[in-house]
């Protein structure tokens, strides 16, 4: 189930547990159904040199409402350098895809860095991973 996947990935991503994943995100814009969609290339490095890679598509509206705004709320009381950098990182503006894509790539890089460094609350890490819709992970043995 999706809940089990998110739970397992969250467990791997938390820095205070023995296993830790490294998340990488990259985006590209494409036109579909009269809207600009952003293709996010996601990669999670798992223990034992395993990698979970997948693609997910979202419109900017989805990214703003379901990832960016929750990140701002989750990190509003965090004082660590990474959390402050993510809070202050410019998010994509509404407008032309070249500028929007560059800002989105920069923000996603800051998000991955903040999550990898363990500066995001577990509840937000779980939310972000559910939003990114990872596939079923390989069995960890």
Tens digit of each residue's pLDDT (9 = 90 or more) over 1-43: 333 333 333 334 444 333 356 677 777 888 888 888 888 888 8
Q: What is the mean pLDDT of the segment spanning 92-100? A: 74
Is there a contact between 13 and 125 (Cβ–Cβ < 8 Å)? yes
Q: Burial level of 16, CB count in 10 A (0-12/13-18/19+)? A: exposed
Q: What is the DSSP string of 79-94?
A: -SHHHHHHHHSPPPPS
What is the pLDDT, as a whole number, of residue 14? 43
> Rounded mean pLDDT of the chain?
77
Report the distance separating Cα 118 and Cα 125, nearest Å: 9
| pLDDT classification of 114: cutoffs 50, 70, 90 | confident
pLDDT at 113 exceeding the cut of 80? yes
Give the integer Cα–Cα distance in Å for 141 and 137: 12
The percentage of residues in the chain with a pLDDT greater than 90, rounded to a whole number, is: 13
Q: Check residues 94 and 141 and name the one with the higher pLDDT.
A: 94
Whether the CB-CB separation of 110 and 86 falls below 8 Å is answered with yes
- Between 46 and 121, whose confidence is greater? 121
């Amino acid at each position: 189930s999706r809940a089990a996947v998110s739970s397992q990935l969250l467990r791997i991503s938390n820095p205070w547990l023995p296993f830790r994943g490294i998340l990488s995100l990259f985006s590209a814009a494409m036109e579909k159904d009269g809207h600009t969609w952003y293709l996010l290339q996601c990669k999670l490095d798992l223990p034992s040199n395993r990698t979970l890679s997948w693609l997910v598509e979202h419109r900017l509206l989805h990214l703003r409402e379901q990832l960016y705004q929750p990140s701002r709320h989750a990190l509003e009381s965090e004082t660590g350098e990474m959390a402050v950098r993510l809070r202050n990182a410019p998010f994509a503006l509404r407008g032309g895809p070249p500028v929007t894509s560059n800002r989105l790539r920069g923000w996603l890089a800051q998000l991955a860095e903040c999550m990898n460094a363990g500066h995001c609350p577990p509840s937000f890490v779980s939310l972000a991973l559910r939003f990114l819709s990872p596939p079923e992970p390989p069995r960890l043995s």
